[in-house]
């Protein structure tokens, strides 16, 4: 990193933190709440991007980790456990579940892994509904204590905003740093060709489990923040089918592109608010748009941006290889042999 770059990053950070100071004053309470929901989605989607975008492993269990964090925190907090302990326990519960799922799932790939994580998501969903004494059943839990430290209780939207902003920024920073680290390079090697990565000395087992645990921990963190933000939770928020939303954020944002995923997480939280007039037809339109997007631009936003810069580069330097032959997740499909 040159000094120029350091200065650029420092200025950008300064501008951003001033902006962050001003946001709660500029936005009304309603939009501030929408932004808070968006920040939870950022943590979920950027977390999912670790396993899906960097590691190339298909996981449909993000909603389950989200739920584990939320229920872990809420159940403990409602029973009078000190709030910081409850919060840490919620995050660890999700991370531990990620470890428990990631270890046996090492043997699975592609659609098999998708189905195994799907099964895990359904089991968690069923447990949330059926363990009524612990989880409040289909009604969920309410009057969950807001997170606080000592005398400070974070119970207003601006407080929650700063709390979430800090954690979202940490997760995004982790993602950006990981992307550039040698570890991130190894993860990308694993994604692009597992066998080649393994013979080049990458410990693919450790990396896969690590990515699983990071994704699950982010999910748990989002769950803790979500339950302290709203004060009530119900199992339908953590149903396996909601994983689809986070999947779309990552895939349409662009696999492995932190900026694209953050953008999509914000867009997919804001767009439903702007399209209120569509009412019940919103989800149908959403499904249709996703199908069209997948057919038209399988690389997502980041893919489109890459294609645009590559096009410009080619116009200026017709012989340049830059931007040509970028990775894509998974090999082209083929019919199953045998």
Partner 1 sequence: MLIQLGFSGLAMGAIYGLVALGFTLIWNAVGIVNFAQGELVMLAAFVSVASLSQALHLPWAVNLVLTVVFMAVFGLFMARGIYHPLRNAPQLGAIVATLGLSIFLKNSAVLVWGPDPLIDSGPFGNATVSLGPAKIYGQHVLILVTMVVLMVLQVAMFRGTAIGKAMRATAQDREVARLMGINTDRVIALIFAYACMLAGVAGVLVAPVFYVSADMGGMVALKAFASSIVGGFGHVPGAVIGGLILGLMDAFGSYFLSSQYIDVISFGLLIAFLIFRPQGLFGEPEMERP
Which spans of this chain sit near partner 1 (rule: CB under 8 A)? 52, 58, 104-105, 107-108, 110-112, 114-116, 118-120, 122-123, 126-127, 130, 195, 241, 244, 247-248, 251, 255, 280-281, 283-284, 286-288, 290-291, 294-296, 298, 328-338
Task: Look up residue 96 and give its two tokens.
Answer: 């531990």
Partners of 152 in beta bridges: 149
Q: Is 71 exposed, middle or buried (0-12, 13-18, 19+ CB in 10 A)?
A: buried
Q: Which is nearer to partner 1, 276 or 331 (CB)?
A: 331
Q: How far is the CB of 266 from partner 1 (least distance, A)?
A: 19
Q: Which is nearer to partner 1, 117 or 227 (CB)?
A: 117
The angle subtended at Cα 258 by Cα 291 and Cα 38, nearest 5°, is 75
* Three-state DSSP state, 212: helix
Q: Which is nearer to partner 1, 296 or 324 (CB)?
A: 296
The angle subtended at Cα 121 by Cα 127 and Cα 173, nearest 5°, is 120
Closest CA to 38 of 274, 217, 208: 274
Q: In this structure, what are the phi and psi dihedrals at residue 286, rounded to the nearest 5 degrees?
A: -60, -50
- Residue 335 is given by DSSP the state P
Q: Which is nearer to partner 1, 33 or 109 (CB)?
A: 109
Q: Which is nearer to partner 1, 18 or 288 (CB)?
A: 288
Q: How far is the CB of 58 from partner 1 (least distance, A)?
A: 6
| Ramachandran bin of 323, using left for φ above 0, alpha for ψ from -120 to 50, beta for the remaining angles | left
Q: How far is the CB of 231 from partner 1 (least distance, A)?
A: 28
Q: How far is the CB of 110 from partner 1 (least distance, A)?
A: 6
Residue 62: Cβ within 10 Å count: 30
Q: How far is the CB of 126 from partner 1 (least distance, A)?
A: 5
Q: How far is the CB of 278 from partner 1 (least distance, A)?
A: 11
Q: Which is nearer to partner 1, 108 or 183 (CB)?
A: 108
């Amino acid at each position: 990193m040159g000094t120029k770059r350091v200065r650029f990053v420092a200025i950008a950070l300064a501008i951003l933190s001033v902006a962050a100071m001003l946001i709660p004053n500029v936005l009304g309470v309603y939009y501030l709440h929408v932004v808070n929901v968006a920040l939870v989605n950022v943590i979920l989607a950027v977390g999912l991007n670790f396993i899906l975008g960097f590691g190339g492993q298909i996981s449909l269990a993000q909603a389950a980790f989200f739920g584990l964090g939320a229920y872990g925190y809420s159940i403990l907090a409602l029973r009078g456990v000190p709030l910081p302990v409850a919060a840490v326990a919620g995050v660890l519960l999700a991370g531990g579940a990620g470890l428990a799922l990631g270890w046996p799932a090492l043997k699975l790939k592609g659609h098999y892994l998708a189905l195994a994580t799907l099964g895990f998501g359904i089991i968690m969903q069923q447990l949330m509904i059926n363990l009524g004494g612990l989880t409040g059943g289909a009604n969920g839990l309410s009057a969950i204590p807001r997170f606080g430290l000592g005398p400070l209780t974070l119970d207003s939207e601006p407080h929650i905003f700063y709390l979430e902003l800090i954690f979202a920024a940490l997760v995004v920073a982790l993602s950006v740093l990981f992307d550039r680290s040698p570890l991130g390079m190894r993860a990308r090697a694993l994604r692009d060709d597992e066998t080649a990565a393994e013979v080049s000395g990458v410990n693919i087992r450790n990396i896969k489990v690590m990515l699983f645990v990071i994704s699950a921990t982010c999910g748990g963190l989002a769950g803790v923040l979500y339950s302290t933000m709203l004060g009530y939770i119900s199992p339908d928020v953590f149903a396996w089918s909601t994983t689809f939303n986070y999947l779309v954020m990552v895939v349409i944002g662009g696999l492995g592109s932190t900026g694209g995923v953050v953008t999509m997480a914000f867009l997919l939280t804001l767009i439903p608010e702007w399209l209120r007039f569509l009412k019940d037809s919103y989800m149908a339109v959403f499904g249709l748009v996703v199908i069209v997007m997948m057919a038209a631009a399988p690389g997502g936003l980041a893919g489109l941006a890459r294609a645009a810069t590559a096009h410009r580069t080619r116009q200026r330097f017709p012989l340049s290889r830059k931007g040509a032959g970028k990775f894509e997740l998974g090999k082209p499909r083929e019919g199953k042999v045998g």
